[in-house]
Structure 1
Amino acid sequence: MTLTWLYAPADRPDLVAKALAGPAGVVIVDLEDAVAPDRKEYARAQVVALLAGGPQPRVEVRINDVRMPYGQEDLRAIGALSARTAGIRVPKVESARELREVAASLPGGVVLHPLVESALGLERLYEIASADPAVASVGLGEADLRADLRVADEAGLAWARSRIVVAARAAGLPAPVQSVYTDFRDLAGLAESCRTGRAMGFRGRAAIHPAQLPVIEAAYRPTEQEVTAASEVVAAAGAGAVALPDGRFVDEAVVRQARTVLADARHTPEPATRRRDARLPAPRSAEQG
């Protein structure tokens, strides 16, 4: 199971190569916020060159807002090559329709990772999460969301974070990934924020600096004590509702939670459990991918 995602600006191919040589589970090659307007065309050409060189299973590409010309140009430039990536991050999503249009413009088999960054998108989170079979995850863009909601700090995002965890699970998607922690020097603050995110139901986090990666890994990996406790619970499974010698009560829900802890410890990918609405398009076949 991937626990770390590292952003790298698309107009800095040296940094992209360095990121790909490092320990991040996924490298997000960024065409959006990390690239100045006068560098967009150059950045786009660098992404095309990277993908033209062959499959990049550890690369996601964050495109620009598809409602704007930059985003449409991104889709036209990398569309045919996007199947060589681990997915396309679609920022500032506010409707299911936007995602369906993006999915329709890309080759079959490409997965989408929409980012919700506004109050309107937050209100429509379940619609976005269940918009199309191509949607593989949902996430928050917390810097923009914080500005839109006019909240001062992480505490003001607690409801939004809980909301996306619920929407992802309701849509049958994996648990969401935490947004970046923007102060890359504050590793203690990052660790505390990650522990809070894990307790809320997130699994892993995006980073803006390589120094953040080991902190995220450590915070999201279950501790030895958690693994031991989970193993004891699973060992008691099948005996109905029972109490362990230390007083812990064990029933099926507790066992499911314990199995999640053990899967996280093994880095086992989380299974998809999407509940498909009958009105949604059918999944794309393996032949189409």
Structure 2
Amino acid sequence: MTGPERPPLTWLYAPGDRPEVVAKALRAGADVVIVDLEDAVAPDRKRYALDATAELLADRTPVPVHVRVNAVAGPLARREVARLAGLPGLAGLRLPKVTGAAALATVADWAGATGPVPPLWPLLESALGLEAAFAIASGHPAVAGLALGEADLRAELGVRDEAGLAWARGRAVVAARAAGLDPPAQSVYPDVRDLAGLADSCRVGRSLGLCGRAAIHPRQLAVIEEAFTPTADEVAAAGEILAAAAAEAGAAALPDGRFVDPAVVAGARRTLALAARHP
């Protein structure tokens, strides 16, 4: 998990050309705010969105801020990366429509001209990107995590319902973990009024190994937080695993027959780190 004290579970999008909405997002209780310069901003508002975001990030922010720039292959990303990289308030760059590791090196070159390369979060939004998931996840030292862009994936793959995303989600989870990264967060749930549907969808995502979720409205945050927070039974089971591991030098078995090895112990530690968000 990303930091033992408060692993992130909620990632709230806000449009970069609406500073008042970004300001509200920073107070909404999300673990990370994602300022969007891409899909949420009309073409004639792109320059203003970049200026407003650069002004915001000139100082440190109360919660971490990531910025989703425009597509690396397009005409805007280079200017955006060069303008934002190195600003005190930037916690990460989210890179849409990544299809291979070459895009990571390109962004790193742009960012490195102004200082250290910020953490990079490539988005897998196409069949080609999904096929290259591990190469992308392991393609640059600055990659801090993967994310899925499920709206574009649904359109390209012809997926009609959530069940059709199971393989894509599993592929992203496996690629991230194989590269030593935290499990990806789940993509946004587009109906901000359907909180019951959001909760059901989160349970599906959690069962596939996803951890946390992006949101497009503050009202979704509490539902996401509850869905991905370990239950009391899960916390108790994790505590038993760590106690058994501490008592044995190698692999151990619990009284109920469950086997405890280093991988199981690591999972138990992640569970307790998430539970510690609510002391």
Q: Identify whether the pair has TM-score above 0.5, normalized to the shorter chain.
A: yes
Q: How does 1:9-88 map to 2 (within 5 A)?
A: 9-52=15-58, 54-56=59-61, 58-81=64-87, 84-88=89-93
> Counterpart amino acid of 1:250?
F
Measure the CA separation in 1 of the matches of 2:265 and 2:46. Answer: 49
Report percent identity of matched pairs: 57
* Residue of 97, 100, 110 corresponding to 1:105: 110
* 1:153 matched to 2:200: no
Q: 1:116 aligns with which of 124, 128, 144?
A: 124
SS in 2 for 1:87: strand
SS at match of 2:169: helix
Normalising by structure 1, report the TM-score: 0.87
In structure 1, stretches of 5+ residues that fail to align are 269-289
Structure 2 CA distance for aligned equivalents of residues 80 and 243 of structure 1 = 49
> C-alpha distance in 1, partners of 2:199/2:141?
34
CA displacement, residues 128-151 of structure 1 (integer Å, 9 cap, x when unaligned) = 111111111011100011111111
Q: CA RMSD in A?
A: 1.7
Q: Which of 134, 142, 155 is the matching residue for 1:134?
A: 142
Amino acid at match of 2:91: A
One-letter identity of the residue aligned with 1:102: V
User: Contact 1:91–1:115 at 8 Å: present in 2 too?
Assistant: yes
C-alpha contact (below 8 Å) 1:222/1:264 kept by paired residues: yes
Taking the aligned partners of 1:36 and 1:254, their CA distance within structure 2 comes to 47
Whichever residue aligns with residue 185 of structure 2, its letter is: V
Corresponding position of 2:260: 251
The count of aligned residue pairs is 264
CA distance in 1, matches of 2:205, 2:239: 23
* TM-score of the two chains, using structure 2 as the length reference: 0.90
Shift of residue 251, structure 1, vs aligned partner: 2.2
| Residues 55-89 of structure 1 deviation map (CA, whole Å, 9 limit, x = unaligned) | 235110100001111223322432453x5311010
Partner of 1:178: 186
Q: 1:227 to 1:80 in 2, by over 3 A?
A: closer
Alpha carbons of structure 1 residues 260 and 80: separation in structure 2 relative to 1, 3 Å = closer
Task: Give CA deviations for 1:41-66 in whole Å, capped at 9, x if unaligned.
Answer: 111111111122x1235110100001
Structure 1 residues 113-170: Cα deviation after superposition (integer angstroms, max 9, x where no partner): 1101000000101111111111110111000111111111111111010001000011
Tell me how far apart the structure 1 counterparts of residues 276 and 200 of structure 2 sit (CA, whole Å). 23
Are residue 261 (structure 1) and residue 271 (structure 2) matched?
Answer: yes
Q: What SS is found at the alignment partner of 2:57?
A: helix
Q: CA deviation at 1:249?
A: 1.7
Between 1:179-188 and 1:100-109, the stretch displaced more is 100-109
> Quick one: distance in 1 between partners of 2:79 and 2:273?
40
The letter of the residue matching 2:156 is: D
